[in-house]
Structure 1
């Protein structure tokens, strides 16, 4: 029985890791740079780490990193990484950090794809809510926050519930005057994919859009595969021990993610292409919004890029190479943890899970 529980926990973790990589932890390809710049390898510290807050507690921590221009001139730019599932205290601390910024550029593909969302070009960078006195004569319709109905059926929402955690979209209040959607809609991504020159010759526009649609339906739980995994994930919530095993496996897995995860071994070429398109264009949209803000006569004094932790390595590379910003302080927030003793996990089981995760990650990571 214990062996079956461990396998179930590990299987759920691997699935979530794949989803995490494709839907949220995407790493962008930086635009072309001069040869001298390309030859320099930037040392980028991780945005996720595993710590032991006590001898029996294993914890996943997520970084918030500040960037400024040399000499401290101009606005501070924060890379505010986020875990899409976590404990309520984590999101409370994260909300406090975000509310302290003058502008928050947030991730939200589904929000931009909803029928109530504004036209793509008009909406990008538009505030979620703005006092009437400050609105221009003909403002773009405000970008909607993430859709509440969609999050209730998503794989991530189901996993959060099963692990006794909360889902980011339910824990963070996006209805702030300083929050602006900085992402692409599904429709925009489809158009980009149809005209992507880097796709394999056998990847037709219909095939590419089918891949994107399949990925979205798995993540929102509307497809057969999505519903099947949701059913499996719900089993976790029936056992505190299984919750503990899954939390541990997930913490150890996310804590080891490094490098370009779009190049994970075992991904079919067409899926690698899909992920690269998602990554390049979504990150490019954020950088476009950021540069537009920085070019203003009076830009926001502090700006946060609020995206999944896996985006951040590439964002840091872009900030340092394109904008010449320098990293400063890093704040670490505990996202979620597992108490091995309370979960009833032995030292043998703990080391076995860690060994399984390490072995698997060595195989799939580039």
Structure 2
């Protein structure tokens, strides 16, 4: 079991790795970044299991973290190209502008985002499964209605008003709400609001589509009195990823990428699926969720120190932020560190966070290949830690081969613009590498 009290040095590093390359949560959207030239180079041969994140140094001048975008083609030349677009969840805003252009050039984008329970829509192969998934999507919609009421002091007049509200806050939320408009039998879920916007009722008529009934035929209702998961109601929760980005003068991915695109499709687990998968592996998501979200005591402490760092760094001409960037560049470009990081949370952590979530993407891609024959290109937009395994699945299961690659700068430390000296930079890098060697023994 994961226990916040026994997080050792490697587990602290593992937490940092998860912040940088793990699942991303909700965040209000800002304007997408402008596009400007960044590192981009094709290669003649691409190894499907090669790294998707690396450090690049111009000795005495710059050290940078880069992420890769690799294009795969079907071995039999029949089918769409697939582009694995890796991303760092915090980076220079220019990176997100460049990646936005790559994504927008594809017919479909399958993106990473662990969704609230019910956000994948209702369905199932039996009436019992359809009833259960219907209740989940209705609770998901209720969570959005609670957020609306927190802002507007009333519930939405109809679900269209709710969708408009959601789209302004986070385009992904609007997409998920659209999937939650029908029940497990494909029928529209009814929404009624009363008492001047103070109460609401969501209703599905069950398997028989008739009022009343019992068992799977019974009406399913969620009201303004129904409790939903706290994950959806906590609208102003601090997020360590976003706070780390601010402390380093960088942008958070959800502030830099515009998800409001008709070709963008979420391809990931829902939170309840993730929790069940973790439980099956004997893992507890609670401490990690609270820390990353900033709601637990360790999370609140981390947020406090990140904010304090921003204030103190002002008096040191940014050298603290630059030093932290160097630390991250060294950590995230070290394959052994990334592998060891996942193991610190338990043997099953990587199987769930990487393997099982990646398989969902490959399964969604398989459906596209089978049913949407006119699609000529698909981008898979995930954290860099996912991509080596994703590439292997794409090659082994679907018969694709690598064809080309590009590298993009996520962020860098430029000594011409930094208070850090070349000697300090090299000393810090040597210290980090020495610590990494000691930890890997």
TM-score range, shorter chain: 0.7 to 0.9
Deviations 1:116-157 (A, max 9, x none): 66348799xx9939x9xxxxx95999xxxxx99869721110
Kindly report which structure 2 residues correspond to 1:29-178, keeping only aligned pairs within 5 A, or say none: 44-52=49-57, 55-70=60-75, 72-109=77-114, 112-113=115-116, 118-119=121-122, 128=175, 153-178=238-263
- Counterpart CA distance in 2 for 1:364 and 1:324 is 38
The yes-or-no answer on 1:255 pairing with 2:333 is: yes
Distance 1:279 1:15, change over 3 A: closer
CA distance in structure 2 between the partners assigned to 1:67 and 1:150 by the alignment? 39
Cα distance 1:88–1:47, how it changes in 2: closer, same or farther (>3 A)?
Answer: same
Could you say which residue in structure 1 is the equivalent of 2:16?
A: 16
Report whether the alignment pairs 1:213 with 2:311: no
Cα distance per residue 1:105-125 (max 9 Å; x no partner):
11111xx216766348799xx
What residue ranges of structure 2 are gaps of 5+ in the alignment?
1-10, 25-46, 125-132, 138-172, 179-184, 190-231
Maintained 8 Å contact 2:120/2:270: no
Structure 2 residue aligned with 1:134: none
8 A Cα contact 1:128 1:178, kept in partner: no
- In the TM superposition, what whole-angstrom CA distance separates every residue of 1:160-190 from its partner, at most 9, and x where no partner exists? 0011110001111111100001011111122
* Offset, 1:359: 2.4
> CA separation of 1:76/1:266 partners in 2, compared to 1, >3 Å: closer, same or farther?
closer
Structure 1 residue 192 and structure 2 residue 277: aligned? yes
| CA displacement at 1:89 relative to structure 2 | 1.0
> In 1, Cα distance between the equivalents of 2:428 and 2:237?
30
TM-score, with length taken from structure 2: 0.62
Q: Secondary structure at the match of 1:237?
A: helix
Other-structure match for 1:317:
392
Q: Does 2:324 align with 1:229?
A: no
Which runs of no fewer than 5 residues in structure 1 stay unpaired?
1-10, 25-41, 132-136, 142-146
Equivalent residue, structure 2, for 1:29: none
User: Structure 1, residues 11-51: CA drift from partner, whole Å, max 9, x if none?
Assistant: 99775235436647xxxxxxxxxxxxxxxxx7622111212
Which has the higher Rg, Structure 1 or Structure 2? 2
Separation of aligned partners in 2, 1:272 and 1:21 = 18
- 8 A contact 1:86–1:160 mirrored in 2: yes
Aligned-pair CA distance for 1:298: 1.2
Give RMSD over aligned pairs.
Answer: 3.6
Contact 1:12/1:233 (8 A) holds in 2: no
> SS of the residue aligned with 2:430?
helix
Are 1:252 and 1:354, in contact at CA under 8 Å, matched by a contact in 2?
Answer: yes
How big is each residue's C-alpha offset from its partner over 1:322-362, in whole Å with a ceiling of 9 and x where there is no partner? 11211011011111111124322223321222122222333
Asked if residue 282 in structure 1 is aligned to residue 357 in structure 2, the reply is yes
Please give the TM-score of this superposition, normalised by the length of structure 1: 0.74
- Deviations 1:285-330, CA, capped at 9 Å, x for gaps: 1111011111125152111111000000101111111112110110
Distance 1:365 1:290, change over 3 A: farther
